[in-house]
Structure 1
């Protein structure tokens, strides 16, 4: 049983990850606004302080980060920066800051999404961010020391997210949160590194 930090544990995917991992691991749940542990992943000092408090861990899972959906012709630089700062740099900050606190052979598991490979209307920010995360993970896997692994889970839209995001993903088959959670379990316990695990497509 390992000690696994889940950042974004109160979100839709985060709850699925906690459910999937908790039977086999000691899960430390971290939220942005709720929970015993909180972090602002866009602020690397906040991430550093989090791990100074938690201490050594065997794995870190990030399911946090927002992106902007909207017509490209109306998107402002500030709106586009939301995804770059929040979902992209938020997860990269976790990798940069948490490395010293990860035990040998530990793992990072980051989160992207289907729009990296199946673009949708009004989803240019999401596609950009998700593809950037893929590039980061594949490259970081070549450099992480001490047999530390890093992988990326890229799910299609979840059943629970259809009421909010369904209009952007018309014709896409949603997947259950349980199925998505299994991909994170595979990343945490498996031997792979530098991989993108697609779920539902």
Structure 2
């Protein structure tokens, strides 16, 4: 098991099922950890880590959580962006408020975190964003969600080249359907009948392996 003593990581969306698993894996490896999410209780359940509650719909949230992590630990070696919301339904049924929330949380929040983290990460650092299989295979009745996730994947792919001169690795991760319960917490619509998803623990382990390795992309077929 990789020893991360002396390394500092920020996990955005650590109050969610997948984000909390990733945070625990990093903490188990000895990392200095800052976790952020909207639920203070969920963050407290992760353990003895630096917790910052934040709503990613706030335009300043990305900058605020990056600054808080760096100030707490004196350095920042990696960022995981695991926050996300989902909505279901035909395109004609998705109202503007739902579109706004999808764009704010699933696209603008990663953009803002990425923009804030790039200038302050230690050389050799890493930023990993978790997208979804729909970025590769857009789905009917998930048109807006698919489009937003595809935009986020494109953002990370383009930013990867820009980040090289800073010696920062940018990783885009697109896991298949995973049993995190996210579909049951949709901000609009009812989920379609979905096949049994992947085990969240296995997905989190694979993501942490990519975070600590040298990969720059995990396609849905890499899980």
* Cα displacement (A) at 1:163: 7.1
1:54 partnered with 2:77: no
Tell me the SS of whatever aligns to 1:139: helix
Q: 1:147, 1:163 → 2: CA distance?
A: 36
Q: Which has the higher strand share?
A: 1
**Counterpart in the other structure of 1:198:** 220
Q: Tell me the CA shift for residue 117 of structure 1.
A: 2.6
Is residue 2:127 matched to residue 1:97? no
* Separation of aligned partners in 1, 2:129 and 2:68: 21
**1:172 has 2:195 as partner:** yes
Assess, with a 3 A threshold, how the Cα gap between structure 1 residues 197 and 122 changes in structure 2: closer, same or farther: same
Residue in structure 2 matched with residue 18 of structure 1 by the alignment? 23
| 1:30-179 map, 5 Å | 30-34=36-40, 35=43, 36-55=51-70, 56-144=75-163, 145-161=165-181, 164=184, 168=191, 170-179=193-202
Cα distance between partner residues in 1 of 2:13 and 2:221: 19
Unaligned runs of 5+ in 1: none
Using the alignment, how far apart are the partners of 1:30 and 1:142 within structure 2? Answer: 27
Alignment root-mean-square deviation, CA = 2.4
Give SS of 2:79's match: strand
**Residues 168/192 of structure 1: CA separation in 2 closer, same or farther (3 Å cut):** same
Query: Is the Cα contact below 8 Å between 1:153 and 1:197 reproduced in 2?
Result: yes
TM-score relative to the length of structure 1: 0.87
State the 1:170 CA deviation. Answer: 2.9
The total of aligned residue pairs comes to: 200
Q: Normalising by structure 2, what TM-score?
A: 0.79
